[in-house]
Chain A
């Protein structure tokens, strides 16, 4: 019964979007986490999605979403001159994460919309299945 597969497919989509929301929350929370060297600075993290065609075959053509991993942004970290900061290095500079708040916010909105889409699909399928179970009554 292919309607049951929708629970897996939409569920995988929802969990992938949750990972995306999680990384956004982490990036936003750490947007101002200063450190005293570029290597120790927090870098913006983003998940990489891919369609899981391994589980999909000709009989169950729908592909689930798989989170391949989390990549750190390669953008340069911000450097600010704050000699009074306790984290400042010997020259008075602190290093700030390369988080772009605008990008993170638009990512958050996109993730929450996609999550809602998946929930809607799931609810509709559940309703259809319930009505199928009532068939013939």
Chain B
């Protein structure tokens, strides 16, 4: 029985990386809170993670001229947030909501980190055999 890192660590590395990407998108929303015509965006975490979890279908490139079709985990689909109230300057960022989402995402990132740390500790225990 071969134990690979992928098996040992489970979904957590992908989840961590996605949380990092989502944090980046949310940070951009907060930074652009006063930019006219900026539309707030977000990452649909569940969908993207489901895409990362499932076996990826890849397109076969029969010619060098074909463009590479990136898998779902590398290019998560960004969606625009539906604002709950309109603004005159066309900006759809609601700072309170973005901050709440960012804090939520940060806590989830930390929990992913904790899970991952636990897996590493288990591996270390297995290696040392104590």
Residues B65-91 near A (CB distance < 8 A): 70, 74-75, 78
Q: Do B32 and A128 touch (CB < 8 A)? A: no
**Is A29 an interface residue when CB atoms closer than 8 A count as contact?**
no
CA distance A16 to B38 in the complex (A): 15
CA distance A58 to B78 in the complex (A): 9
> Of the 9-residue stretches A30-38, A82-90, A129-137, which lies at the interface with chain B?
A129-137
CA distance A114 to B33 in the complex (A): 7
Q: Do A13 and B103 touch (CB < 8 A)? A: no
Q: Do B25 and A61 touch (CB < 8 A)? A: yes
Q: Do A120 and B32 touch (CB < 8 A)? A: no
**Is A75 an interface residue when CB atoms closer than 8 A count as contact?**
no
Q: 1/0 contact trace for A1-23 toward B, CB 8 Å?
A: 11101100110111011001000
Q: 1/0 contact trace for A45-82 toward B, CB 8 Å?
A: 00011110000101111111100000000000000000
A130 CB to closest chain B CB (Å) equals 11
CA distance A134 to B62 in the complex (A): 44
Which residue, B27, B36, B103, has most C-beta atoms of chain A within 10 A? B27
Using CB atoms, name the residue of chain A closest to B36. A49
Which residue, B23, B26, B32, has most C-beta atoms of chain A within 10 A? B32
A47 CB to closest chain B CB (Å) equals 9
Using CB atoms, name the residue of chain A closest to B114. A131
CA distance A51 to B31 in the complex (A): 9
The residues of B that contact A27 with a CB separation of less than 8 Å are none
Q: Do A6 and B23 touch (CB < 8 A)? A: yes
Using CB atoms, name the residue of chain A closest to B29. A62
Q: Do B20 and A3 touch (CB < 8 A)? A: yes
CA distance A2 to B43 in the complex (A): 13
The residues of A that contact B24 with a CB separation of less than 8 Å are 2-3, 5-6, 9, 60-62
> When the two chains form the complex, which single residue of A10, A58, A65 contacts B35, counting CB atoms closer than 8 Å?
A65
Q: List 13 A-B contacts (CB under 8 A).
A: A3-B20, A16-B34, A59-B75, A62-B27, A63-B28, A65-B31, A65-B32, A110-B34, A111-B34, A114-B33, A127-B106, A131-B110, A135-B116
